[in-house]
Amino acid sequence: MEFSCIEKVLKNEPSFRLKQVKRLVFFDLIDNWDKATTLPLSLRDKLNKECSLEIDSKMFFSKDKKTIKALINLKDGLKIESVLMKHIDKRNTICVSSQVGCALDCVFCLTGKMGFKRDLEAHEIVSQVMLFARYLKSKKQRITNVVFMGMGEPFLNYDNVIESIKILNDKQGFNLGARSFSISTAGIIDGINRLADEKLQINLAISLHAPDNKLRSKIMAINKRYPLLKVLKSVDDYILKTKRKVMFEYLMIHNVNDKDEHAEKLARLMKKPLYFVNLISYNPTGDFKSSSKQRIKKFREILEEKGVNVGQRYSFGQDIKAACGQLAVKM
């Protein structure tokens, strides 16, 4: 679903057409130009031929119906996955992929094991959101949040990620508020610095997962290039510029990063007013196990006692391999 293709076709059309088409694509959420009955037939035919709205995909539903995973076939035969998470409070969050595979190879993540294939284009990111927006519209619901926590490292595909957010944020188009977007990075400092200078009020999250360099480098190789304290320094600069809260994601992995001493160390780093730690129960991927409920509770208590802002995230869609670190497709 390439909007640049649509713009090209509309080049010689009257200027109101673009606005009309944006409404059809992003508000009415049509999936076929035949449904664009307000457009002349010849234009519909041309658009059908040159700029198909079809998104080649298959959906998988979790048993509790709270999670839907989409497997999307890209034009070049590669595949990506995206996930819809339906929250109790009626929020509908889409977790989108920014790359096919990932080069960072964090030891606990299945996407990393796929290796890196290529960056996604902005329209391929937008299509992931449109796919679920169309589905939700059929249920009289809408998307409330988009998080870049799927396959890939968003800041290694910075321009396409920001462009996709601008397309989805466009008031004449999908019109999803900037505050509804979150980008999660493994700690690419250049990306954090660039985001601080964007005039977009989107949210930043850091995949932290370890409280010191030694452990972090062991489970996230990217830490050798962007060490923990340098990442935190760039986060502090970001907060200074934007005055925005930053999330720190911490996967709770049994016997790896979940001991009391890890919590003590983490508390020393995280006790800052605009820092917020999110503890996430790890989804077993073969090599590692998740921490027990009691362990997570104790870990959280230590952080709370030390005055750290901390919460716990519900883990979605383990049964359909849609949870954090479980997205991986066979090519």
- Catalytically annotated residues: 81, 324
- Nearest by Cα to 105 from 225, 197, 281: 225
**What is the per-residue DSSP string for 142-208?**
---EEEE-SSS-GGGGHHHHHHHHHHHH-TTTT---GGGEEEEES--HHHHHHHHTSS---EEEEE-
From residue 205 to residue 234, the character string flagging contacts with ligand SF4 as x (rule: CB under 6 A) and all else as - is: --x---------------------------
Q: How far is the CB of 286 from ligand SF4 (least distance, A)?
A: 14
DSSP 8-state secondary structure symbol assigned to residue 18: H
d(CA 83, CA 139): 17
Q: Using the rule CB under 6 A, is 106 a contact of ligand SF4?
A: yes
- Nearest by Cα to 185 from 149, 138, 140, 133: 149
Tally of CB atoms within 10 A around 228: 21
From residue 118 to residue 157, the character string flagging contacts with ligand SF4 as x (rule: CB under 6 A) and all else as - is: ---------------------------------xxx----
In the bound state with ligand SF4, the residue whose beta carbon lies nearer, of 136 and 189, is 189
Position among 6, 85, 102, 168 found at the interface with ligand SF4 (CB under 6 A): 102
Position among 109, 219, 308, 329 found at the interface with ligand SF4 (CB under 6 A): 109
Position among 186, 210, 252, 303 found at the interface with ligand SF4 (CB under 6 A): 186
* C-beta separation of 81 from 327 below 8 A: yes
Q: What residue has token string 């819809």?
A: 84
In the bound state with ligand SF4, the residue whose beta carbon lies nearer, of 102 and 296, is 102
Q: How far is the CB of 181 from ligand SF4 (least distance, A)?
A: 17
Summarize as ranges the residues that interact with ligand SF4 (CB under 6 A): 102, 104-106, 109, 111-112, 151-153, 186, 207, 325
